[in-house]
């Protein structure tokens, strides 16, 4: 075990609140867990040295950080600053049918049911998920009532100042037939460490539109997870955009726990310098007639490293499953690295399941040709290679978010060098 | 040599590709409105010259200097050379699936207009110009919608190069073996296009292996390039001489100073 994990466990033992049984369970599991090394499959390409060496720690000082303003988007804000829920920046007046509350403010009966739901979707194998179980203080619960459509998106912002460590946790529950959009965003500065986990329980016929932006770079260490449980005829559409940092790791789990559920997951990541981004996406088809479509597209420049592990597990009962997993990568330099591993495990015989991964290099001849016509290198690069990223941005259902993130991604790409 | 009148001045140029020296002390001066033909055997460095002048990655300049309208060409990025008026018509134009010809042409024209501080041309206005250029080079207008050079025949690619030249209006055009792979009809279309662009303030370097193209594009000067330098210069009649003699005489050619003198 690392010193970092030991100290995390020690800190968890000081927390005595409504989540105590869950924290104790997480600590127990952590105590049995071996600290990952190169030989640990789930962390093979993602060394944890930056976590071992981090100087980030808990900061309780008042800092003034605010979520970024996005044109044409007026979200319901749910703000954490350095891991603490910031009620002053969070939206108080909520539309009918939506409730947002802090776990510690609930009455005993509500806490009891929240306790049952806590960590019920997120699998126990996620090491930092357990750390989050043990250390997330202000757990926020979001729920939408049956058949209610909340048109205003909820934005969960985790804001970190230099040197901060933060563990945030949100539990989202969509009752039958409800509709909700949730945006998860982290904004951090300097050397930070965060774990940010959200569990989504999506009841029958409900629809979740989901975004996760992990645009932190540099020495920001960000480990997180988004975990979804799908019931009968429920749907989800998730869009993930990530830039790399010294350590950026995201685990997603989509569990088809009901029949005729539909999941779409589109992920884009663009890495430069020595950055690393690791996406582990798991889909469990436990029930029949489910559909999953996953598109992961990645551009890696300089000495950056992308990791993608896409596992689709089709259980024996999950007949008539339709699942497709596609991973396309563009390498900008000889030293850039992509580790992609699609994993299909199929135990049902009447399913359709496709997967593919491709790695392309930048077409230097085409780049030169465009330049000889006066087009700048950066513009040419975008013209030639932005199409496959643009396609996924176009698929984002929320136009305001798509138009906010598109120039950010394009700009980052234009700055990447061909080597 | 540094005549203020000259459009392009190449002085004692040395250049290499992957550590192999290809251009070995090349001198050339071109005045506005002149058409210079560069002929020579395979491997003489004819295509390399175009790549070096346009700044292609992997081609390194080991010595000498090049001025285009008084500016140090070798110091400039490829795109800036184009914006300064240099145009290279490729021997093998690059296919770019996924980028439409129209988008490509508009981006090129926009970039050059912007560099000259001119206002951007509207899409409608540009489409009109592009259609007219298509007509002039005898390409169906539908080619504007296709991917750049994607699935074009050899002749269509060359005409597409010519169309770019018409739209970009460069001051120095390098035609790199534009005649290769063309039948006589296509050759005539290309030559007519080039001739229509000849003017007092536009110069051409016509790089070719064969004299045939020069029947249609009459050069003011003909240079023979061999082993990385110009070994003989003359007027249009030199091309005919070469056609009759071939390049075999170069193997036993006397020292270049005698020829240059």
When pLDDT is cut at 50, 70 and 90, the band that residue B14 belongs to is: very high
Alpha-carbon gap, residue B74 to A215, rounded angstroms: 39
**Is the Cβ pair B164, A373 closer than 8 Å?**
yes
Cα distance from B218 to chain A (closest Cα, Å)?
26
A348: containing domain: 3-415
Interface predicted TM-score (ipTM) of this complex, two decimals: 0.93
Task: Over range B143-166, report the average pLDDT.
Answer: 93
Please give the residue of chain A at the shortest CA–CA distance from B79.
Answer: A374
Q: B219-236 pLDDT, tens per residue? A: 999 999 999 999 999 998
Q: Does the pLDDT of residue B190 top 80, yes or no?
A: yes
pLDDT of residue B152: 94
Partner B, chain A 322-381, Cβ-Cβ below 8 Å:
363-366, 368-377, 379-380
Of A160, A131, A273, A262, give the one whose Cα is nearest residue A208.
A262
CA atoms within 13 A on the CB side of A415: 10
Alpha-carbon gap, residue A357 to B38, rounded angstroms: 48
Cα distance from B253 to chain A (closest Cα, Å)?
35
Query: Which member of A363, A366, A373 has the closest CB to residue B82?
Result: A373
Chain B residue numbers touching A387 (CB-CB < 8 A): 98
Residue from B94, B168, B169 whose CB has the most chain A CBs within 10 Å, to mutate = B94
Q: List, edge to edge, every strand of the sheet that includes B229-234.
A: B86-89, B172-176, B203-208, B35-39, B221-226, B229-234
Mean pLDDT of chain A: 95
Fold for domain B8-260? Rossmann fold (3.40.50)
| DSSP secondary structure, B45-96, as one string | SHHHHHHHHHT-TTEEEEEEEEEETTEEGGGS-HHHHHHTTEEEE-SSPPPE
**Is the Cβ pair A373, B98 closer than 8 Å?**
no
Which pair of structure tokens corresponds to residue B213?
Answer: 């193209």
- φ, ψ of residue B95 to 5 degrees: the values are -90, 130
**Is the Cβ pair B112, A374 closer than 8 Å?**
yes
Q: How many beta carbons lie within 10 A of that of residue A176, not counting itself?
A: 18
Q: Does the pLDDT of residue B252 top 70, yes or no?
A: no
Which pair of structure tokens corresponds to residue A304?
Answer: 């950056």
Query: Which member of B56, B79, B148 has the closest CB to residue A374?
Result: B79
Query: Which member of B77, B98, B168 has the closest CB to residue A373?
Result: B168
Q: Does the pLDDT of residue B4 top 70, yes or no?
A: no
Q: A174-189 pLDDT, tens per residue? A: 999 999 999 999 999 8
Q: How many domains in chain A? A: 1
Q: Does the pLDDT of residue B85 top 90, yes or no?
A: yes
Q: Is A272 helix (H, G, I), strand (E, B) or coil?
A: coil
Q: Which H or E run contains A3? A: helix A3-12
Alpha-carbon gap, residue A413 to B145, rounded angstroms: 26
Of A378, A379, A406, give the one whose Cα is nearest residue A392.
A406
pLDDT of residue B30: 97
Chain A residue numbers touching B90 (CB-CB < 8 A): 369, 372
pLDDT of residue A110: 95
Q: How many beta carbons lie within 10 A of that of residue B5, not counting itself?
A: 7
Alpha-carbon gap, residue A266 to A395, rounded angstroms: 8
Query: Which member of B56, B87, B107 has the closest CB to residue A375?
Result: B107
Chain A residue numbers touching B88 (CB-CB < 8 A): 372
Cα torsion through A403, A90, A235, A173, rounded to 10: 170
pLDDT of residue B97: 84
Q: What is the DSSP letter of A148?
A: -
pTM of the model: 0.82
Residue from B78, B99, B115 whose CB has the most chain A CBs within 10 Å, to mutate = B78
Alpha-carbon gap, residue A351 to B99, rounded angstroms: 37
Task: Over range B178-204, report the average pLDDT.
Answer: 89
pLDDT of residue B260: 40
**Is the Cβ pair A374, B57 closer than 8 Å?**
no
Q: Does the pLDDT of residue B1 top 60, yes or no?
A: no
Alpha-carbon distances of B213 from A383, B175, B187, B232, B236, rounded to whole Å: 35, 11, 7, 19, 12
**pLDDT tens over chain A, length 419 residues:** 789 999 999 999 888 899 999 999 999 999 999 999 999 999 999 999 999 999 999 887 778 899 999 999 999 999 999 999 999 999 999 999 999 999 999 999 999 999 999 999 999 999 999 999 999 999 999 999 999 999 999 999 999 999 999 999 999 999 999 999 999 999 998 999 999 999 999 999 999 999 999 999 999 999 999 999 999 999 999 999 999 999 999 999 999 999 999 999 999 999 999 999 999 999 999 999 999 999 999 999 999 999 999 999 999 999 999 999 999 999 999 999 999 999 999 999 999 999 999 998 888 999 999 999 999 998 898 888 888 898 899 999 999 999 999 999 999 998 888 88
Tokens 């040419």 identify what position? A380
Tokens 């100087």 identify what position? A55
A129 with A225: CB under 8 angstroms? Answer: yes
Cα distance from A384 to chain B (closest Cα, Å)?
7
A201 with A229: CB under 8 angstroms? Answer: yes
Q: Is B128 helix (H, G, I), strand (E, B) or coil?
A: helix
């Amino acid at each position: 075990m690392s010193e970092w994990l030991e100290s995390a466990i020690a800190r968890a033992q000081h927390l005595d609140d409504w989540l105590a049984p869950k924290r104790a369970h997480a600590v127990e599991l952590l105590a049995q867990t071996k600290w990952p090394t190169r030989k640990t499959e789930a962390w093979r390409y993602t060394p944890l040295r930056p976590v071992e060496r981090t100087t980030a720690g808990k900061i309780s000082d008042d800092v003034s950080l605010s979520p970024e303003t996005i044109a044409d988007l007026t979200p319901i804000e749910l703000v954490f600053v350095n891991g603490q829920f910031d009620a002053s920046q969070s939206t108080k007046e909520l539309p009918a049918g939506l409730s947002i509350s802090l776990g510690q403010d609930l009455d005993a009966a509500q806490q009891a049911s929240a306790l049952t739901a806590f960590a019920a979707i997120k699998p126990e194998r996620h090491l930092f998920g357990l750390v989050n179980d043990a250390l997330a203080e202000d757990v926020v619960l979001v729920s939408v009532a049956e058949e209610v459509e909340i048109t205003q998106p909820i934005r969960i912002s985790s804001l970190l100042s230099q040197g901060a460590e933060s563990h945030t946790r949100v539990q989202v529950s969509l009752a039958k037939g409800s509709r909700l959009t949730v945006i998860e965003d982290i904004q951090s500065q300097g050397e930070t460490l965060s774990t940010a986990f959200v569990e989504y329980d999506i009841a029958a016929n409900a629809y979740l539109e989901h975004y996760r932006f992990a645009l932190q770079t540099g020495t920001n260490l960000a480990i997180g997870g988004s975990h979804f449980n799908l019931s009968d005829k429920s749907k989800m559409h998730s869009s993930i955009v990530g830039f790399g940092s010294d350590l950026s790791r995201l685990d997603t789990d989509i569990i088809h726990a009901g029949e005729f559920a539909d999941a779409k997951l589109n992920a884009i990541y663009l890495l430069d310098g020595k950055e690393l981004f690791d996406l582990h996406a798991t889909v469990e088809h436990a029930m029949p007639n489910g559909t999953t479509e996953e598109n992961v597209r990645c551009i890696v420049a300089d000495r950056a490293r992308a990791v993608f592990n896409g596992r689709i597990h089709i259980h024996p009962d999950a007949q008539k499953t339709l699942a497709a997993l596609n991973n396309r990568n563009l390498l900008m330099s000889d030293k850039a690295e992509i580790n992609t591993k699609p994993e299909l495990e199929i135990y049902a015989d009447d399913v359709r399941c496709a997967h593919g991964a491709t790695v392309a290099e930048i077409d230097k001849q085409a780049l030169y040709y465009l330049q000889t016509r006066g087009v700048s290198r950066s513009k040419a690069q975008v013209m030639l290679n932005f199409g496959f990223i643009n396609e996924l941005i176009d698929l984002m259902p929320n136009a305001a978010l798509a138009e906010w993130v598109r120039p950010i991604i394009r700009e980052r790409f234009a700055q990447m060098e061909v080597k | 040599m540094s005549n203020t009148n000259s459009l392009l001045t190449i002085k004692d140029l040395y250049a290499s590709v992957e550590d192999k020296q290809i251009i070995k002390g090349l001198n050339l001066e071109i005045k506005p409105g002149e058409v210079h033909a560069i002929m020579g055997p395979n491997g003489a460095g004819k295509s390399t010259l175009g790549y070096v002048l346009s700044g292609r990655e992997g081609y390194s300049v080991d010595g000498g200097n090049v001025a285009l309208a008084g500016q140090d060409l070798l110091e400039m990025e490829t795109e800036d050379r184009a914006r300064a008026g240099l145009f290279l018509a490729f021997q093998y134009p690059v296919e770019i699936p996924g980028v439409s010809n129209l988008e490509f042409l508009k981006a090129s024209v926009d970039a050059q207009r912007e560099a000259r501080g001119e206002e951007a041309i509207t899409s409608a206005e540009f489409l009109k110009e592009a259609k007219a250029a298509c007509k002039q080079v005898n390409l169906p207008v539908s080619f504007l919608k296709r991917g750049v050079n994607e699935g074009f025949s050899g002749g269509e690619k060359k005409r597409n190069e010519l169309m770019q030249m018409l739209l970009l209006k460069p001051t120095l055009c390098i035609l790199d073996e534009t005649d290769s792979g063309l039948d006589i009809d296509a050759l005539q279309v290309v030559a007519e296009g080039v001739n229509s662009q000849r003017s007092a303030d536009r110069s051409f370097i016509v790089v070719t292996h064969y004299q045939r193209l020069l029947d249609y594009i009459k050069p003011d000067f003909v240079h023979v390039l061999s082993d990385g330098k110009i070994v003989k210069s003359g007027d249009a009649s030199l091309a005919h001489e070469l056609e009759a003699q071939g390049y075999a005489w170069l193997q036993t050619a006397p020292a270049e100073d005698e020829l240059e003198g």
